[in-house]
Amino acid sequence: MEFGLASEVSVQQASLCRMIAKFYRTIGDRKAMKEALRTYLSSAQLDEEMTVQLLRLYAEDGETSLFCKQYERYANLLETELGLKPSDEIRELGASIIST
């Protein structure tokens, strides 16, 4: 039963983070949006959807160093934990930022 509850809590946290991120995007508070995403990702490090949102914000704001740190953290964790590489979308975004 605990696994079911933990899973439901995780789903609810992701949903709440999406709502908070959308709210901050709507009001134009990019700093708060990044903070909300970073906070969520500190406990859900493999959430690709939220990782993409944060990486896009870093890219759009020219925060190359933060982008690279988040990208490398995500890619390393994905490889270590699941033996996978980031999605094509994330790799293409990474290539476009790292090559500039």
Average pLDDT value for residue range 45-69? 95
62: phi > 0 → left, psi -120 to 50 → alpha, else beta; which? Answer: left
CA distances from 74 to 8, 24, 46 (A): 23, 23, 7
CATH code (residue 20): 1.25.40.10
- DSSP state for residue 41 in the 8-state scheme: H
Answer whether 34's CB lies under 8 Å from 57's CB.
Answer: yes
Domain encompassing residue 75: 2-98
How many domains does the structure of the chain reveal? Answer: 1
Average pLDDT value for residue range 38-48? 94
2: confidence class by pLDDT, cuts 50, 70, 90: low
**pLDDT in the model for residue 10:** 87
**pLDDT in the model for residue 98:** 78
